[in-house]
Amino acid sequence: MNGQLRAIAELDRVIHEPGRLMIVALLSGLEECDYRYLVHETEMNKGTLSSHLTRLEEAGYLQMEKTFRGKVPRTLLRLTASGRQAFEDYRAKLKESLR
C-alpha cells in the first residue's frame, strides 16, 4: 500500500464523519462554547448534534459541563487535550494523504 492510501486508512473515524469533523473544527478554535452556539453554527438539529457530541465524549475528545445561569440550564463544551491532539493528528494525516 502506498503512503497516500495508508494515510487515508489511518484517519480517525470518530473525527472523519462530516458532522463530528465540523464540531471538532469549530471547537479547536475556541476554549469552550455552549450548546446553543453549536446548534446555530452547525445548523444541525438538536438530536443529531447531541448524538455526535455523545460519540465525541465517549471517545474522550470532548468534555461536557452542565451548569445553570440563574434557573436556565446551560451546557458548556470543550475539546479535551486528547481531542485537540487527535484533531491535529487527523489534519496531518489528511494533508499527507492529499500529497
CATH number at residue 51: 1.10.10.10
Domain span at residue 87 reads 3-97
Q: Which residues in the chain land under pLDDT 70? A: 1
Please say whether the dihedral angle defined by the alpha carbons of residues 65, 55, 23 and 36, taken in this order, is positive or negative: negative
Q: How many domains does the chain have?
A: 1
What is the predicted pLDDT for the residue at 9?
A: 85
* Model confidence pLDDT, tens digit, residues 64-78: 999 998 999 999 999
* Model confidence pLDDT, tens digit, residues 16-25: 999 999 999 9
This prediction's pTM: 0.90
The rounded distance, in Å, linking the Cα atoms of 78 and 87 is: 13
